[in-house]
Amino acid sequence: MSKSKRPKISKKDRQAKRPTSDSIKSSPSNKSTSNKKLSFTLSIIVAALAFLLYVNTYNHEYALDDFPTIYGNSLTMQGFDGIPTMLKTAYWYGLDGKNDFLYRPLSLITFAVEWEFFPDTPAVGHVTNGLLYVLLAFLVFITLKDLLKKYNIVIPFITTLLFVAHPIHTEVVANIKSRDELLCMIFCVLSLFYAVKHFDKPDVKHLVLIFVFFFLGLFSKESAITYLAVVPLALYFFRKTDFKKIAIPSGVAIASAALYLFIRGQILTSQTVAGEIALIDNTLIAAPNYMGQLATAFYILGLYIKLLFFPHPLSSDYSFAQIPIVDFSNPIALVSIFFHVALAVYAVVRITKKDPIAFSIIYYAATISLVSNILFLTRSTMADRFLFIPSLGFALIIAMLLHKYLTKENAQATYKSFKYFFQANKNLLIVTAVITALFGFKTIERNGDWKNDYSIFSHDSKVTTNSSRLKFLYANHLIQSLNQNKVPAEKQDEYWNTAVEEFKKCVEIHPQYFEAYFGLGEAYNKKGDYAKAVEYYQKVLEIKPTYRSGLNNLGNAYLRAGNMDKAIETFNKAISLHPDYPEAYNNMGTVYFTIQNYGEALRLYQKCIEINPDYFDGLKNLGSAYGSLQQYDNSIDAFMRALKQQPNNAEILYFIGVTYQLKGDQANANNYLNRAYAINPA
The answer to whether residue 376 is domain-embedded is: yes
Locate all alpha helices (DSSP H) within 544-597, ordered by sequence. Answer: 548-561, 564-577, 582-594
The CA distances from residue 443 to 62, 165, 458, 470, 533, in Å, are 19, 7, 18, 21, 42
> 380 and 397: one domain?
yes
Angle at 177 between CA 380 and CA 86, to 5 degrees: 100
Q: What is the mean pLDDT of residues 513-531?
A: 96
Asked if residue 165 lies in contact with residue 441, where contact means CB atoms within 8 angstroms, the answer is no
- Taking the C-alpha atoms of residue 214 and residue 108, their distance in angstroms, rounded to an integer, is 18
- Taking the C-alpha atoms of residue 75 and residue 340, their distance in angstroms, rounded to an integer, is 43
The answer to whether residue 11 is domain-embedded is: no
Using a CB cutoff of 8 Å and minimum separation of 24, what contacts does 119-124 make?
119/77, 119/79, 120/71, 122/60, 122/61, 122/62, 122/66, 122/176, 123/58, 123/59, 123/60
Asked if residue 41 lies in contact with residue 48, where contact means CB atoms within 8 angstroms, the answer is no
Closest Cα to residue 55, out of 332, 420, 440? 440
Instruction: Enumerate residues 6+ apart whose C-beta is below 8 A from 462.
Output: none
pTM, rounded to two decimals:
0.90
The model's confidence at residue 24, banded by pLDDT at 50, 70 and 90, is: very low
Specify the 3-state DSSP secondary structure of 129.
Answer: helix
> 273 and 412: one domain?
yes
Q: What is the mean pLDDT of residues 136-156?
A: 97
The answer to whether residue 21 is domain-embedded is: no
> 427 and 496: one domain?
no
Answer whether residue 196 shows pLDDT above 80.
Answer: yes
441-493 tens-digit pLDDT = 999 999 999 999 999 999 999 999 999 999 999 999 999 999 999 999 999 99
- Taking the C-alpha atoms of residue 207 and residue 204, their distance in angstroms, rounded to an integer, is 5
The answer to whether residue 2 is domain-embedded is: no
Q: Tell me which of 486 and 270 has the higher pLDDT.
A: 486
DSSP summary character for residue 456: H
- Taking the C-alpha atoms of residue 421 and residue 45, their distance in angstroms, rounded to an integer, is 14
Asked if residue 166 lies in contact with residue 307, where contact means CB atoms within 8 angstroms, the answer is no
The answer to whether residue 14 is domain-embedded is: no
> 399 and 460: one domain?
no
Query: What share of the chain in percent tops pLDDT 90?
Result: 90
Instruction: Enumerate residues 6+ apart whose C-beta is below 8 A from 132.
Output: 179, 182, 183, 186
Asked if residue 619 lies in contact with residue 640, where contact means CB atoms within 8 angstroms, the answer is no
The model's confidence at residue 17, banded by pLDDT at 50, 70 and 90, is: very low
Asked if residue 578 lies in contact with residue 570, where contact means CB atoms within 8 angstroms, the answer is no
Asked if residue 62 lies in contact with residue 455, where contact means CB atoms within 8 angstroms, the answer is no
Domain's final residue, options 411, 444, 477: 444
DSSP for 277-332 reads PPTTT-GGGGSSSHHHHHHHHHHHHHHHHHHHHS--S--S---TTSSPP--TT-HH
Query: What share of the chain in percent tops pLDDT 70?
Result: 94
Q: What does the pLDDT read at residue 271?
A: 58
- Taking the C-alpha atoms of residue 113 and residue 321, their distance in angstroms, rounded to an integer, is 38
The answer to whether residue 3 is domain-embedded is: no
- Here the CATH number for the domain that contains residue 555 is 1.25.40.10
Answer whether residue 155 shows pLDDT above 70.
Answer: yes
Residue numbers of the domain that contains 471: 453-679
The CA distances from residue 252 to 194, 196, 232, 259, 362, in Å, are 11, 13, 11, 11, 21
Domain's final residue, options 392, 419, 444: 444
- Taking the C-alpha atoms of residue 116 and residue 79, their distance in angstroms, rounded to an integer, is 4
- Taking the C-alpha atoms of residue 547 and residue 540, their distance in angstroms, rounded to an integer, is 8
The answer to whether residue 424 is domain-embedded is: yes
The answer to whether residue 609 is domain-embedded is: yes
The model's confidence at residue 12, banded by pLDDT at 50, 70 and 90, is: very low
Specify the 3-state DSSP secondary structure of 1.
Answer: coil
> 565 and 499: one domain?
yes
> 592 and 502: one domain?
yes
Instruction: Enumerate residues 6+ apart whose C-beta is below 8 A from 253.
Output: 191, 195, 210, 211, 214, 227, 228, 231
> 50 and 197: one domain?
yes
Domain's final residue, options 444, 475, 492: 444
Q: What is the 3-state secondary structure (H, E, C) of 286-297?
A: HCCCHHHHHHHH
Asked if residue 173 lies in contact with residue 129, where contact means CB atoms within 8 angstroms, the answer is yes
The model's confidence at residue 413, banded by pLDDT at 50, 70 and 90, is: confident
H or E, element range at 33: helix 28-54
- Taking the C-alpha atoms of residue 481 and residue 458, their distance in angstroms, rounded to an integer, is 14
Stated length of the chain: 682
Closest Cα to residue 237, out of 115, 396, 373, 93? 396
Asked if residue 210 lies in contact with residue 235, where contact means CB atoms within 8 angstroms, the answer is no
Write the burial class of residue 460 (CB in 10 Å: 0-12 exposed, 13-18 middle, 19+ buried): buried
Asked if residue 498 lies in contact with residue 478, where contact means CB atoms within 8 angstroms, the answer is yes
- Taking the C-alpha atoms of residue 549 and residue 113, their distance in angstroms, rounded to an integer, is 34
- Total H helices, total E strands in the chain: 32, 0
- Taking the C-alpha atoms of residue 359 and residue 362, their distance in angstroms, rounded to an integer, is 5
Asked if residue 176 lies in contact with residue 110, where contact means CB atoms within 8 angstroms, the answer is no
The model's confidence at residue 20, banded by pLDDT at 50, 70 and 90, is: very low
Q: What does the pLDDT read at residue 2?
A: 43
> 313 and 408: one domain?
yes
Q: What is the mean pLDDT of residues 608-627?
A: 97
Q: What does the pLDDT read at residue 176?
A: 98
Closest Cα to residue 579, out of 608, 621, 603? 608
DSSP summary character for residue 19: P
> 466 and 423: one domain?
no
Asked if residue 537 lies in contact with residue 518, where contact means CB atoms within 8 angstroms, the answer is yes
Q: What is the mean pLDDT of residues 659-680?
A: 96
- Taking the C-alpha atoms of residue 197 and residue 632, their distance in angstroms, rounded to an integer, is 77
Q: Tell me which of 299 and 21 has the higher pLDDT.
A: 299
At 96, the amino acid letter reads D
Q: What is the mean pLDDT of residues 214-232?
A: 98
> 408 and 460: one domain?
no
- Taking the C-alpha atoms of residue 188 and residue 198, their distance in angstroms, rounded to an integer, is 15
> 356 and 492: one domain?
no
Helix axes 616-628, 650-663, angle to 10 degrees: 20
Average per-residue pLDDT for the chain:
94
Phi, psi values for residue 271, rounded to 5°: -95, -5
Q: What does the pLDDT read at residue 101?
A: 84
Sign of CA dihedral 423, 425, 430, 434: negative
The total of structural domains in the chain comes to: 2
Q: What is the 3-state secondary structure (H, E, C) of 342-397?
A: HHHHHHHHHHHHCCHHHHHHHHHHHHHHHHCCCCCCCCCCCCHHHHCCCHHHHHHH
Q: What is the mean pLDDT of residues 320-331?
A: 97
Asked if residue 284 lies in contact with residue 319, where contact means CB atoms within 8 angstroms, the answer is no
> 418 and 522: one domain?
no
Closest Cα to residue 625, out of 604, 653, 651? 604
541-561 tens-digit pLDDT = 999 999 999 999 999 999 999
